[in-house]
Amino acid sequence: MKKKIAIIGSTGSIGTQTIDIVREHIEHFEVVGLAAGTNLEILEAQIREVKPRIVSVANIQLAKELKERIKDIQQPIEIVYGIDGLNAVATIDEADVVVTAVVGIMGLLPTINAIKKGKKIALANKETLVAAGSLVMNLAKQYQAEIIPVDSEHSAIFQCLQGESVKSVESIILTASGGSFRGKKKEELKGVTVTQALNHPNWSMGAKITIDSATLMNKGLEVIEAHWLFGIPYDKIKVVVHPESIIHSMVEFEDTSIIAQLGLPNMRIPIQYALAYPKRIINRQPKLDLTKISKLNFENPDIETFQCLQIAYEAGRIGGTAPVVMNAANEVAVQLFLQERIEFLEIEHIIKEMLSRHSVIQHPSLEQIIDVDDWTRKQILTGGE
């Protein structure tokens, strides 16, 4: 029987690759729900291909336009919009798996609502666990909702831990490509352009994640996410720069064994693993040929130049609403950089400034998390007025 899938963030990088996997494995998967933002061109093409039951867009105007665009389709398709639309797609009864691939804190509420429906979550939204890790994981346990990570690093850890006890883990080793500016020093980063920052050497990702990779904040978010996904203390989560991006992460056990997951830098592998889990199915992507790899390199991250990684460790250890502020400040700062309104190096300064202004709330409720997120964004965008 086919697994039925709802995709939150269907027109982004993870969403479009999920559709590609469904296309290649139509015997295994069926898409029943799509949620997108404003990209009606891609969304319309997806609707015509997969014929979902329900579709969500950003606002009522786009909903009306989409309805007009697809009026020739005979099959009835419910069109919804806004946060209510995202929640409707995430909780559609037919869905067995909900792929949460929308970027940013926007993914939190639909993910929580899908968890409350007992759905299996293919989680590609880092910010959900960064901002509300304790809350989300407790709800997943309460509602017996399985969370399968889609990030290549967390998928690697998840695979390495199959059949193993977390109690025997000595450390988790997250690998980082180093991003667009690996090897650069602070002076060399002054005045870098958006185009330069988006020029990732290995991965094809969305703009926000690519900038996060360049600042090493992406790895910082992954450290916090790994803490919640696997119940591992921060002192046992390490980061190493691995420029080839062949080893996607590793687990070191107390007997000194290290188990790693290897593969070409291709997000379709972890996406497909999450969709098919606990089974494995054929992947028709290019295979890794070990004989063509001359060497694999590893180095410590440069936390003096790229301070966002250290900021994330500190925010994670403080806990409570500190990661909420860090995440929200980073989202806004990255957007300002992409709009060429601030310099690259200002991203980390904005995050530090907002953390210094905030009084941390321990054990926050969902409402407090949302309020703190909103406060942080408004502080930055209004200059604290």
Report d(CA 109, CA 102) in Å as an integer.
11
Q: Pick the closest to residue 170 from 159, 160, 179, 180 (CA basis).
A: 160
213 is in an annotated binding site: yes
Q: Please, which residues have CB within 8 angstroms of residue 173's CB and are 6 or more apart in sequence? A: 238, 239, 240, 249, 250, 251, 252, 258
In Å, how far are 192, 300, 323, 361 from 304, measured between CA atoms?
A: 18, 11, 20, 29
39 is in an annotated binding site: yes
330 is in an annotated binding site: no
127 is in an annotated binding site: yes
222 is in an annotated binding site: yes
In this structure, the number of other CB atoms found within 10 A of the CB of residue 65 comes to 15
125 is in an annotated binding site: yes
In this structure, the number of other CB atoms found within 10 A of the CB of residue 262 comes to 13
218 is in an annotated binding site: yes
Report d(CA 242, CA 176) in Å as an integer.
6
Report d(CA 347, CA 355) in Å as an integer.
13
12 is in an annotated binding site: yes
206 is in an annotated binding site: yes
202 is in an annotated binding site: no
146 is in an annotated binding site: no
Q: Please, which residues have CB within 8 angstroms of residue 80's CB and are 6 or more apart in sequence? A: 54, 55, 56, 63, 88, 89
Identity of residue 8: I
Q: 3-class SS at 362?
A: coil
Give CA angle at 249 (232, 328), nearest 5°: 65
14 is in an annotated binding site: yes
349 is in an annotated binding site: no
359 is in an annotated binding site: no
Report d(CA 317, CA 121) in Å as an integer.
26
Do the beta carbons of residue 370 and residue 325 sit within 8 Å? no
13 is in an annotated binding site: yes
Q: Pick the closest to residue 353 from 370, 336, 333 (CA basis).
A: 333
Do the beta carbons of residue 76 and residue 90 sit within 8 Å? no
Strand partners, 258: 252
Structure tokens at 48: 């015509």
Show binding-site residues for 1-deoxy-D-xylulose 5-phosphate.
Answer: 126, 152-153, 177, 200, 213, 218-219, 222
Show binding-site residues.
Answer: 11-14, 37, 39, 125-127, 151-153, 177, 200, 206, 213, 218-219, 222
Show binding-site residues for NADPH.
Answer: 11-14, 37, 39, 125, 127, 206
Show binding-site residues for Mn(2+).
Answer: 151, 153, 222
